Amino acid sequence: MAAASSRFSRRNRHLARGLVEGGLATLLFDLLTAAEERIDDQDRSLRFDIPLLSRRLIGAIDWACSQPSVRGARNPGAGRPPGPHLVSPASERGQALKASRSLTPPHDMAVRPPLWTNRHQAGLALVDAFADRQGRAHDTTLLALPRGGVPVAAAMASRLGLPLATWSVRKVADPAWPELAIGAVAAGGVVVWRNGEGALLRATTATTHGWLRAQEMELRRRQELFGDPPGEQLRGRHLIVVDDGIATGMTMKAALLSLRKLEPASLDLAVPVVDRDVATELSQLVDRLVALALVDDLQAVGLWYEHFEQLRDEQVLALLKQTPPARDQIPPGTSTRA
């Protein structure tokens, strides 16, 4: 948010002091991260994102209510004892929930990270959901998004007896802020851009500055290195796309759109953890989405693993070589034409 409306603004701090003097507890916090503020300053796409802001508000209320200093605090009213009080946290939470897409708190909201020791364990946990595909190497392929999706899919392949291949995709970002994806590129010339009013501007900027071209080149490098299969080898097969987690969904969206163009027999998505709203969007692109954990406002996939090291190309190649052979497995080392 702009400095005038942040937790550091003189106006907000003055108001908070007045509330405290009146016996009301206050909590000053920012609804957007510093990185998100930079995006919002450019296209104003986040300041009116009611579902996002509602989830942040709900999280703040839940956190405040869990603090020992405010547990058991009663609502202000006649005859209240002296000292700070929360202003009806339950009703405030209810109002925030009404403004969010997730209108009813699901059963898994109590789930807390980490859930898995590593990516391999998460992959094994996904196996049961695809028991109907076990041993069907003649018509089913596991496709992992490298690098993080490969150990998850390799674990699944070892139990299901399915061929494993990679399907490379690259995010497009401003080099000054590499953690902020503004787009993604996948095989078949598929490019997606971050939603919002600034999508066209992002596309123009990325093209003009060569950011898109750089990622297209890196995409081709990975396709050659990891041996992404040619599209014609996937046409008519049952495809299960695997990644280690999905926060924004931009790269996964690009991957699914590129695979849909190949006319597979079916297209499923398997992922250990995914943002709830992103899952809703991606479910429109697949025949089945299997997720072990749906998380509101997922910020960091790595938090859901005890060990979440960044993988090197050499590690990915080693995992691909270790995958048990399967009947009619796609020939390794064959690259996709982007």
Question: Residue 255 has what pLDDT?
Answer: 98
| Assessment of whether the complete model's pTM goes beyond 0.85 | no
Strand (E) positions, 139-187?
140-144, 164-166, 169-173, 181-186
Residue segments in the chain with a per-residue pLDDT below the cut of 70: 1-8, 35, 38-49, 51, 62, 65-111, 179, 196-199, 324-338
What are the beta bridge partners of residue 129?
none
Q: Would you state the torsion angle of the CA atoms of residues 16, 18, 23, 24, taken in this order, to the nearest 10 degrees?
A: -30
Question: Residue 285 has what pLDDT?
Answer: 97
Q: How far is CA 193 from CA 181, 197, 230, 254, 337, in A?
A: 9, 11, 25, 9, 22
Would you say how long the chain is, in residues?
338
Question: Residue 325 has what pLDDT?
Answer: 44
Positions of CATH 3.40.50.1820 in the chain: 3-103
Q: How far is CA 78 from CA 71, 75, 91, 179, 243, in A?
A: 20, 10, 18, 51, 55
Positions of CATH 3.40.50.2020 in the chain: 119-322
Any idea which architecture 119-322 has in CATH? 3-Layer(aba) Sandwich (3.40)
What gap in Å lies between CA 212 and CA 51, rounded to an integer? Answer: 30
Question: Residue 85 has what pLDDT?
Answer: 34
State yes or no: cis peptide before 147, omega within 30 of 0. Answer: yes
- pLDDT tens per residue, range 284-304: 999 999 999 999 989 899 999
Per the CATH hierarchy, to which homologous superfamily does domain 3-103 belong? Alpha/Beta hydrolase fold, catalytic domain (3.40.50.1820)
Residue ranges of alpha helices (H) inside 82-190 are: 89-99, 119-126, 149-160
